[in-house]
A and B are shown apart, each in its own frame.
Chain A
Amino acid sequence: MMRKHASPARSFRVGILGAGFISDLHIAALKTLPFVEVCSVCDQASGKAALTGERWNIPQVYSSLEEMLEKSSLDVIHILLPPDRHFEAALACLEAGVDVFLEKPLATSSEECDALLRTSARSGRRAGVNHNARYHPALERLKTAIRAWRFGRVQHVAAAINLPLRQLSQGQHDHWMFRSPGNIVLEQAPHPLSQIQLLVGNVESVSALASGRQLLNTGQPFYNTWQISMVCERGSAQCSLSFGGGFPVSTLQVTGEDAVAFVDLRTNRVQISEQTRFLEPVDHLLDGVRNGSAAMRQGAENFVNYGLSFLKLKASNDPFFAGIRASVRAFYEALREGSPLPVDLEQASAVITACERIVHSAGGERLNYTDISKEIAHAG
């Protein structure tokens, strides 16, 4: 059953599809929006759905999407399923006349993205994607500086991610992201790629190298290191992704005409170096002083925020949740105002296309049966 969408400043009845870890964050974000009511939760594991319903006081609990669509009168459904189930679920919701908000990645192929775009256009329903990395508080500070013209044109972005992967180290190799060597790119790369897209536009061409091949306990090969160079619409970018070991890293280095920023997403700090009116030796001294004190200030703020939210004196404001909350808010505000969605299907499709290009450039299907990096080394 669908509701009519007449009022421009309307309220929303929302359903949650998929009651995994991320659903709690989406519901917590939705609870901060006064014009949203979370009415239903659905998971094929009915016990999980019931627990989530109970935890968040959600009245309607379902174990099938069809049932939720049939019995709840919903405006928006958050699709929080594993990536390979996004497409069918989103298609069903759009066909049923319900707007959707999908977790990243939007889908697992460009073909699925195209089909969703066509369905969205035909049904007149809208689909947004949770590229919450674009709303990380540290990146928000950078965006503010760019909008204040402190950077000029952003020319280059270098993203670096070194992620300890719990499922990898604990042998949970049946997870979707390990089923094919390219899945890890679709699962993890949308975060940095969405940031790169925001800063220098869509990826136009890619050169990628995968290395660190290992066999998982399923017999599938897994590449733990990906080095990616990209030409984008408004600049260039690099991205290095590595998984499963070493010091955790999540950084962006953003080079503009007039400034350079080092964004540490893990510690939620931003360091900006820009030109000054002083000669080089003084300029370099002041840069050190300014960035040193900014790092101390930001570190102290993060510590105090953590302490206050731990003591429940302040709403949770950890960077990951803050990103999701801002992303959810931006989606609903756009829906309410009828303005362009912050991350629409076209933008999210472009990220999936970039992921596909990365996998293809690194070897595509050949990644499955040969160690591409060694092949290249021998050829060299």
Chain B
Amino acid sequence: MPGEIAILGGTGFIGSALVAALRKRGYRLKVVSRRAGPERNRTEGVTYVRGDVGDASSMLECLRDTSVVFHLATGGGNNWAAFERDFVQGARNVANACLAYNARRLIYTSSVAALYLGGTKPVDESAGTDTKPGSRSHYSRAKILAESVLQQMHHASGLPLVVVRPALVAGRGGMLNHSGVGFWPSSTCCTGWGRGKTPLPFVLVEDVAEALVLAMETPGIEGRSFNLAGPIRPSAAEFMEMVRKRSRRNFRFYPQSLLKMQMIEILKWAVKCAARKRDNAWPSFRDLKSRSLRAQLDSTAAERILGWSPTTSTATFLAEAIDSHLQPLLAGDLRCT
């Protein structure tokens, strides 16, 4: 049984689900967040503390005497410096605090954005993170480097690290217009990362929370990483059609070849160059290919080692991933006729 458990980013989408899952098991928690402080202390067994992962002293103060740390905090901004501070330096600050207080485990929530999924072969944990972080988006690059910093500290200083990489997280409290499905220029129009025929590695947020709890409770897994994707994997086009039918709203999916998307990105880049916009990086085709999630994500390690069993029920998946975001159709609505 762990001592105090701290959750960095515990007010976010996955963080909130994790808090609920841990409270269900009776754990007492400390939630560290940039925005929510003690004024939020209304939940039995949960203490809210204001803290910033980018600030080393803040982490040393917030994580004092904690036994288990879940790091789900995110951040970023308009430029690489902001990502570097929040993700890479943030991970380092959290890890140093864990080492300082001799924490039993640090569970870092990374992302499949840290992997390269633009190939054709299935990808499991043995592939490691993308070896070319410089040619990826700020977010992916930040996640790759954060993982790298933490793994180095695990090897060099014995940081008790476990990394989980949730794929397309869906469910209550999240967003229906997930950027993993495609690019959303408006709330109902989605342009696919490609033709939209590839099965997408969806995972429900409750299943991610369950995996995080198992990552805390399972002994002897320090240094390991786990990809998290469920077995129900509609393609982007299929998912959008389900959303359209279930919501009776004007959701539309526009398949688009990656080459065409790249041409458009280059055009945007050129326009920004002409307008002398700052932070205008050459669009990376490698990042675009990885966003298409063409390589099938293998998450059997989590099932095998953690005993994780994500939902296999399509009805549950649809209810949580789609219906939880929809308003009920009221009697008399012309869409009923």
Contact = CB atoms under 8 A, between A and B. Distances in A.
Nearest to B252: A277
Contact of B188 (A275, A278, A279, A283): A275
Interface of A: 143, 146-147, 149-154, 198-199, 201, 233-234, 257-259, 274-279, 283
A233 B328 CA distance: 13
Contacts of B252: 277
B191 A234 contact: no
Contact of B334 (A199, A259, A275, A279): A199
Given A147-B334, A233-B332, A153 B327 contact: yes
9 contacts: A149-B244, A149-B248, A153-B327, A201-B332, A234-B330, A258-B188, A275-B186, A276-B186, A277-B191
Contacts of B186: 275-277, 283
A147 B188 CA distance: 17
B250 A151 contact: yes
Nearest to A276: B189
A153 B333 contact: yes
B250 A276 contact: no
A147 B187 contact: no
A277 B250 contact: no
Contacts of B247: 152
Given A234-B333, A258-B249, A277-B185, 13 more contacts: A146-B334, A149-B248, A149-B249, A149-B335, A150-B250, A152-B247, A152-B248, A153-B249, A258-B188, A259-B250, A276-B186, A276-B189, A277-B189
A233 B330 contact: yes
A201 B335 contact: no
Contacts of B244: 149
Top 10 A-B pairs, shortest CB-CB distance? A275-B186, A152-B249, A277-B189, A258-B250, A146-B334, A149-B248, A234-B330, A150-B250, A277-B254, A258-B188
A151 B333 CA distance: 11
A144 B335 CA distance: 10
A154 B335 CA distance: 10
Interface in B183-228: 185-191
Interface string B294-337: 00000000000000000000000000000000010010111101
B177 to A, nearest CB: 11
Given A275-B186, A275-B188, A279-B185, A198 B334 contact: yes
Contacts of A198: 334
A283 B327 CA distance: 27
A275 B327 contact: no
A267 to B, nearest CB: 23
A150 B332 CA distance: 17
B265 to A, nearest CB: 12
Nearest to A142: B334
Contacts of B188: 152, 258, 275
Contact of A234 (B189, B249, B250, B332): B332
Nearest to A235: B330
Contacts of A274: 250
Nearest to B191: A277
Given A149-B244, A259-B250, A276 B185 contact: yes
Contacts of A275: 186-189, 250
B185 A278 contact: yes
Interface string B108-149: 000000000000000000000000000000000000000000
A340 to B, nearest CB: 11
Nearest to A279: B185
A163 B56 CA distance: 70
B323 to A, nearest CB: 15
Looking at B244, B249, B250, the one whose CB has the most chain A CB atoms below 10 A away is B250
Interface string B247-290: 11110101000000000000000000000000000000000000
